[in-house]
Amino acid sequence: MIFATRYFIAYVLDLILGDPEFFYHPVRVIGKLISFLEKKLYNFKNKKLTGGILVFLVLTITFGVSYILAISKITEIFFLYTTLATKCLADEGKKIYEILKSNDIERAKKEVSYLVSRDTGRMDEQQVIRSVVETIAENSVDGVIAPMFFAIIGSFFTWNEVSLALPFAMTYKAINTMDSMLGYKNEKYIDFGMIGAKVDDVANFLPARIAGGVIIPIGAFILRMDYKNTWRIFLRDRLNHGSPNSGHGEAAFAGALGLQFGGKTSYFGKIYDKPTIGDKKRDFILDDIKNARKLLYISSGIGLIVFLILSQLIKVVL
């Protein structure tokens, strides 16, 4: 079975299964490993060094275990599916959409608090919707396009006749998980999490730009959204973000949906005036969540097609 077929099956499994509650997701295992190593390494004096050791150990262990899992094509397909998060991300949006539709704003704010680090207690409906749409936009890259990118890159390499697609994709997930757990610029993690954050910046550099500049605009065109505005806002606002990569996907989404992200946001009781992304043509409405989910799904499909076609063309040339 060629890799393109195996990866297509993995993609379909994600669309069908998502993140079922009965399954202990590999990212949770990676998170447990990070927490364990943090407890062992954090109290040493040179936190940049020990943070770097943590990064090395997490990536080495993840790559090694994933390589063993990739020996069997069945387990390779299954665990490749777990590196994708299209349905999981879309389902989170749908859940909050249904709650808001029933006018239960308090429950909606509670659900949003599981998705974002910003304060949710005083949010109104528009702020809840904005948080959900921004989350879908940002995670369209690190939850979908970037794992695809690294799986396809890994598929060009083998070790003892075992494809490195799964080790590459799962190691990316480990990088992303480390950044989400340790990549804060606060007193606790400014040094200890520095190397992990830098590795995440490097890993997302190409996927973010491919997603924001190519895949999402094509998705907007297919969905008859404002694809010209998608490119315009992407080129203008993609760097209006604290992260060097996160703004690319958000800018493309904001342009396609005709919305403005950013602005005043509360974190841990303090208001921050974040740079804005997109033009404020109108206020957020409930259907923006539905449209963001549609753009997420179509972009994931386009990403799959683009990467698989390019990989086959490159293999023919090589």
3-state SS track over the chain: CCHHHHHHHHHHHHHHHCCCCCCCCHHHHHHHHHHHHHHHHCCCCCHHHHHHHHHHHHHHHHHHHHHHHHCCHHHHHHHHHHCCCHHHHHHHHHHHHHHHHCCCHHHHHHHHHCCCCCCCCCCCHHHHHHHHHHHHHHHHHHHHHHHHHHHHHHCCCEECCEECHHHHHHHHHHHHHHHHHHCCCCCCCCCCCHHHHHHHHHHHHHHHHHHHHHHHHHHHHHCCCCHHHHHHHHHHHCCCCCCCCHHHHHHHHHHHHCCCEEEEEEECCEEEEEEEECCCCCCCCCHHHHHHHHHHHHHHHHHHHHHHHHHHHHHHHC
Residue numbers in the chain where pLDDT is lower than 70: 266, 268-269, 318
Beta bridge partners of 266: 271
At 315 the pLDDT is 79
Q: pTM for the whole thing?
A: 0.94
User: Using CA atoms, how far apart are residues 240 and 276, in angstroms rounded to an integer?
Assistant: 7
For 104, phi and psi rounded to 5 degrees? -100, 75
| Six token digits for residue 122 | 């005083």
User: Using CA atoms, how far apart are residues 165 and 110, in angstroms rounded to an integer?
Assistant: 37
At 80 the pLDDT is 98
Residues shown for the chain = 318
